[in-house]
Structure 1
Amino acid sequence: MKIHNFNAGPSILPKQVIKKSVKAVINYNQYGLSLLEISHRSKDFEKIMEKTTNLVKNLMNLNEDYVVLFLQGGATLQFTMVPYNLMKKEAAYLDTGIWANNAIEEAKKIGKVRILFSGRKKKYVYISKNYKIPDEVDYFHCTSNNTIVGTQMKIFPNTSVPIICDMSSDIFSRKLNFCKFGLIYASAQKNVSSAGMTIVIIKKDILIKTQRNIPSYLDYKIHIKNKSIFNTPNIFSIYTSMLTLEWIKNKGGISIIEKKNKEKSKLLYNEIDRNNLFENKIYKEDRSNMNVTFFLKKKNLKKKFDDMWKKENIIGLEGHRVLGGYRASIYNAIPLESVQVLIDVMKEFERIFS
């Protein structure tokens, strides 16, 4: 039975990645050990770390100025680690969604936060381009893709201030000049791997000397010195990341993945805009290619629509509990076929109930 998985995270992974991961869990090395049993200080794991790091750098075209870390705690821990390590007095933030707002609230506990734009009053349906980053702030923080409402930054500013970006839900989904960022972080459970690991990419020269007494686990310098094994890392998630990045590379790299993602999102948005029974509330220029949100115009038809898409083996289409409605998360691994099944259901639903 073919399942069409639109979950927002943990989300769909490439089938071959799952198969290889299962094989590694059963029998990984010449001693018959499972991947889950090998030491994080073994030669086996050293090879995994080296290969995964090289794949990240190669796919993102990063130079030797950057270091790649594989940490735990999700993006949520990075909301605290970023200001702990980079804020001297004040930082600038964009408030483009709930997760962006959570990052702001954590930063406020450590220093002064200047909010350059907030979309909260308009329910985050757009992202302003008319903001100016002050030269005197320590860094500028943004969230590239907002999973709950379904917005995505299409343009990133040119500034001498270090740009810090939470790319949890669209990393490796589109080609960007990644070298313009000072720090990128992304929890793994969207486009990269299973939950439990966070990629943190740091341009080494942005790490400042601070009078702040940083707790050891929150100190980027300690993690860099210890090559991501200051504590026992999530070996399985890092290994699955390696397989997923290999899959992206074998597909032709990020540019090819981006082309397919644009094709999928365009088809789905076109159907939402065309269909008399559905609507999308996001400004068109800010629509996410990863998380497509939409709503029924007639709420009394909800049960009938839910019955139809569930009958076609679609899962994970419910909107976030804060927003309601529907959300199709069309990450890298979801095939065009699954998007087309959803579109066909929407067309049939319109035919019957319009």
Structure 2
Amino acid sequence: MKRSYNFSAGPAAIPTEVLEQASKGLLEFTKGVGVQEISHRSPEFIEIRDSVILRLKQLLNVSESYEVFLCPGGATMQFSLIPMNLLLKNKKCDYLETGIWSNKAAEHAKKLGDVHIVASSKSEGYCHIPKEWNIREDTSYLHLTSNNTVYGTQLHDYTVNQNVTLICDMSSDILSRKIDVNQFDMIYAGAQKNLGPSGVVIVIIKKELLERVDASIPDLFQFKKYVEYNSLYNTPPTFSFFMLDLVLKWIEKKGGVEYFDQLNHKKAQLIYDTIDQSEFYVTNVSKEDRSLMNVIFDLENKSLTEKFIVEAEKEDLVNLKGYRSVGGIRASIYNACTYEACEKLVAFMKSFENNNE
């Protein structure tokens, strides 16, 4: 079966070998039934859940001072759950605004607390990551978004010269590069970029931070309940758990985070070099803040952008259209996007330039 080179921003490409394994599991996982047909309380499914948690801990080198759990829904749901669970009595919380998703996170928190924006690049079209942050000393937490899928920027330094509870949304770059989990008090990530299909979020949180959680919060919204019930408080999205397990095993087999860190730098550099060496393609993203996951660019002659997208699809290079409010081209090159796919894209970019100068 022929498959296209998929540059979708999310839900994103899933490794072909994982999809092949999943297709078999859909038909028969155990005892003649598919994985989506078994109880979430069954020994077979408990094994999937345990495998996911174990592999996340191993791949990210998570210490015993953290809990790891899986939560249904998407990262957007965490935008509300985080302030619900982790605001101190003063209700203060700080956010770094670097794009649409960090903005949304702050807007959700405003319904529950006193939100302060420590810095923002909104007035400059989110083309860079602000370097000076005005963090309140008595804030409940500082919230960061590690990678900005819409504008193509990424945090490359998480150093905060202040004692603050640090929370990070890593939905679009989790397991794509090496990080020190110990720098953070909480990390969360929706699965649909680097971990599989949508429907589940991974949460890594310090055990001591869970002591903040107010027991009066309804159970389904309470972090402690997901830890207490080992991610199975209610029926979870079982197929998403299964797919997450398959993707984690694939990452492990490939060589883990270190392997993908090197590969993703190589993939991104190939495309950025092509842009930088051309006057035909342009990008306004600050070089020091460029994303390894989402390469954002446009054509100097914007009237050719739609033609580029249409002709790229004829070459099996799909889902390159930029976010609706930004336009241009967006090549999302998450873990499952191969180096070969990036080579094909670069070859097309050069050919298109030669034919349309």
Which category describes the TM-score, using the shorter chain as reference length? over 0.9
**Counterpart contact for 1:95–1:115, Cα < 8 Å:** yes
Q: Is the Cα contact below 8 Å between 2:294 and 2:333 reproduced in 1?
A: yes
* AA aligned opposite 1:151: T
Contact 1:163 1:181 (8 Å CA) reproduced: yes
Taking the aligned partners of 2:347 and 2:132, their CA distance within structure 1 comes to 39
In the TM superposition, what is the alpha-carbon distance from 1:212 to its structure 2 partner? 7.9
In 1, are the aligned partners of 2:298 and 2:305 still within 8 Å (CA)? Answer: no
1:227-306 alignment runs, 5 A limit: 227-306=230-309
Whole-angstrom CA distance in 1 between matches of 2:211 and 2:50:
26
1:230-279 Cα offsets, whole Å, 9 max, x none, are: 11111111111111111111111101111000000000001111122111
**3-state SS, counterpart of residue 304 of structure 1:** helix
In structure 2, C-alpha distance between the alignment counterparts of 1:210 and 1:192, rounded to whole Å: 28
Name the SS of the counterpart of 2:240 in structure 1: helix
| Paired position in structure 2 for 1:336 | 339
Match of 2:63 in 1: 63
Q: Which amino acid aligns with 2:186?
A: L
Could you tell me whether the CA contact under 8 Å between 1:53 and 1:68 is conserved in 2? Answer: yes
Q: Is the 8 A contact 2:98 2:129 kept in 1?
A: yes
What is the deviation of 1:139? 0.8
Quick one: which of 104, 107, 121 aligns to 2:106?
A: 104
SS at match of 1:275: coil
2:28 paired with 1:16:
no
Distance 1:86 1:130 in 2: 25
2:311 aligned with 1:308, yes or no? yes
Shift in Å, 1:132: 4.2
Task: Provide, for residues 288-320 of structure 1, a one-character-per-residue CA deviation record: whole Å limited to 9, x for no partner.
Answer: 000001111112223432232111111110001
**Distance across 1 between alignment mates of 2:337 and 2:268:** 11
- The separation in 1 between residues aligned to 2:27 and 2:145, in whole angstroms, is 38
Is the deviation greater in 262-271 or in 14-23? 14-23
In 2, distance between residues paired with 1:326 and 1:74?
Answer: 25
Determine which of 165, 183, 187 is the counterpart of 2:186.
183
Letter in 2 for 1:324: G
Is 1:145 the equivalent of 2:168? no
**Map of 1:116 onto structure 2:** 118
**Are residues 210 and 242 of structure 1, via their aligned partners in 2, closer, same or farther at CA, if it must alter by over 3 Å?**
closer
Alpha-carbon distance between aligned partners in 2 of 1:282 and 1:80, rounded to the nearest angstrom: 30
Question: Quick one: which amino acid aligns to residue 182 of structure 2?
Answer: C
Map 1:2-41 onto structure 2 (within 5 A): 2-29=3-30, 31-41=31-41
Distance 1:15 1:262, change over 3 A: same
C-alpha contact (below 8 Å) 1:308/1:345 kept by paired residues: no
Change (3 A) 1:116 1:161: same
Distance in 1 between residues matched to 2:355 and 2:214, nearest whole Å: 66
CA positional deviation for 1:210: 5.6
Aligned with residue 204 of structure 2, among 201, 205, 211 = 201
Single out whichever of 164-173 and 248-257 deviates more from structure 2: 248-257
Report the more deviating stretch, 131-140 or 88-97: 131-140
Whole-Å separation in 1 of the counterparts to 2:214 and 2:255: 46
Task: Report the equivalent of 2:132.
Answer: 130
Q: In 2 relative to 1, CA 105–303 (structure 1 residues): closer, same or farther, beyond 3 Å?
A: closer
> C-alpha separation between the residues in 2 aligned to 1:79 and 1:304?
37
Q: Which digits, 9 at most, give the CA deviation of each residue in 1:13-55, with x for residues without a partner? A: 11111111111111001x2111011100010011111111000
Are the counterparts in 1 of residues 213 and 223 from structure 2 also a CA contact under 8 Å?
no
Q: Distance in 2 between matches of 1:164 and 1:282?
A: 25
Distance in 1 separating the partners of 2:123 and 2:334: 28
* Matched residue SS, 2:205: strand
Distance 1:254 1:342 in 2: 24
Instruction: Tell me how large the CA RMSD over aligned residues is.
Output: 1.3
- Measured in 2, the distance between the counterparts of 1:26 and 1:124 equals 45
* 1:322 match: 325
Give the AA of the match of 2:263.
Answer: K
Amino acid in the other structure paired with 1:67? E
CA contact (8 A) 1:193 1:244 kept: yes
For residues 125 and 303 of structure 1, do their structure 2 counterparts lie closer, same or farther at Cα, with a shift above 3 Å needed? closer
Query: 1:85–1:208: 8 Å Cα contact kept in structure 2?
Result: no
Aligned with 2:67: secondary structure?
strand
> Stretches of 4+ moved more than 6 A in 1?
none
TM-score scaled by length of structure 2: 0.96
Over 3 Å counting, the alpha-carbon distance change for 1:291 and 1:225 in structure 2 is: same
**How high is the sequence identity, in percent, across the aligned residues?**
42
State whether residues 280 and 294 of structure 1, in contact with CA within 8 Å, keep that contact through their aligned partners in structure 2.
Answer: yes
